[in-house]
């Protein structure tokens, strides 16, 4: 599969932020829908292999990498940290059927869990 220039640069940014090897990057691009979306690799497309990623990165000129680094480092987020004065949280409560536990039910649950692990 061919890797486009935009996909290559986006994969480079992900690799730089995570400090992954090409093998780890290829694994996460194959495994994670989030990384695939951020690198503009469609869900139905075959993800690039580690050798395809390495070959694509080798074709990137040093001047392009310098401009990419300048754009990332000198972006507004890179210049000044965002003040975190307010935090929004969602604490939605949903009903759940939870029974009142007794000593015998706790013992039964412990035996059931231990028994399940012995067969794994």
Query: Could you tell me the pTM of the whole model?
Result: 0.57
Identify the residue whose tokens are 């059927």: 97
Which of 12, 100, 98 minimizes the C-alpha distance to 48?
Answer: 12
Query: For 50-64, what is each residue's pLDDT tens digit?
Result: 999 989 888 989 998
Name the residue ranges covered by the structural domains of the chain.
5-79
Q: State the DSSP code for 97.
A: -
Spatial distance between the Cα atoms of 110 and 14, rounded to a whole number of angstroms: 43
pLDDT of 119 above 80: no
Query: For 81-99, what is each residue's pLDDT tens digit?
Result: 667 777 777 778 888 777 7
Q: What is the mean pLDDT of the chain?
A: 82
């Amino acid at each position: 599969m061919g890797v486009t220039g935009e996909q290559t640069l986006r994969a480079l940014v992900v690799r730089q932020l995570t400090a992954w090897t090409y093998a780890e990057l290829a694994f996460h691009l194959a495994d994670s829908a989030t990384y695939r979306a951020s690198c503009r690799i469609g869900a139905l497309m075959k993800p690039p292999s580690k050798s395809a990623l390495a070959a694509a990165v080798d074709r990137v000129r040093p001047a392009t990498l310098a401009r990419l680094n300048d754009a990332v480092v000198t972006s507004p987020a890179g210049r000044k940290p965002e003040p975190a004065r307010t935090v929004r949280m969602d604490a939605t409560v949903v009903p759940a059927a939870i029974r009142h536990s007794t000593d015998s039910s706790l013992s039964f649950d412990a035996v059931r869990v231990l028994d399940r692990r012995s067969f794994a």
